[in-house]
Amino acid sequence: MSIFVFRMVPLVQIFAVFAKIGAFTIGGGYAMIPLIQAELTRRGWLSDDELPDIVALAQSAPGVLAVNMSIFAGYRLRGLKGSIVATVGSVLPSFVAILLIAMFLSNFQDNPIVVSIFKGIRPVVVSLIAVPMINMARKSNKTWWAWTITAVTLVLVAFLKVSPIYILLVIIVLATAFAIYKERKWKR
């Protein structure tokens, strides 16, 4: 017996929504988060509280974030069939676009107009990644230390080039030690 209560969303709708998300996402998995949030919460398929859990699961699983998010969101909606349909829906538009680009537009890669277009898209992608992260942090972390950890992590990864793996390991050790300390203090 599964611990999940699946919502009976039609598979065709899941495919259509994730194909729309896949078609309009530029910049990878993190840029997909605001679209997934907007589409799935607007339809009542997921709550705002469920999305951070899906993002955390998707980040912890090996593989591409966008595909992992599609897998977990689809599974939450319809189980294994939902996972498959959501994944195919989110990947298919990019696959077709890249296939067409490779077939027809490879001669334009050095075109100044094409180069300018991609340079103009970069800031938009950065904002698409930053906004949902800030919104999720704002909703789930209302304490000063959570924002401090976020800021320190940003500085360490972005400017000092520290591997996120080391940061995660340190946070896991510190959080475990803090939880053990609080548990022992509470038992006294």
Which residue, of 124, 140, 156, is where some domain finishes? 140
Residue 46 lies in a domain: yes
Residue-wise pLDDT for 11-43, tens only, equals 999 999 999 988 887 766 777 888 888 888 888
Which residue, of 101, 123, 140, is where some domain finishes? 140
Task: Let me know: does 32 contact 66? Beta carbons within 8 Å.
Answer: yes
Beta strands in the chain (DSSP E): none
Residue 100 dihedral angles phi and psi, to the nearest 5°: -65, -40
Q: Which residues of the chain fall short of a pLDDT of 70?
A: 1-7, 27-28, 105-106, 129, 132-133, 136-137, 139-142
31 and 70: one domain?
yes
Judged on CB neighbours under 10 Å (0-12, 13-18, 19+), 75 is buried
- pLDDT reported for residue 140: 63
123 and 49: one domain?
yes
Judged on CB neighbours under 10 Å (0-12, 13-18, 19+), 95 is exposed
108 and 154: one domain?
no
Pull the structure tokens for residue 3: 């611990």
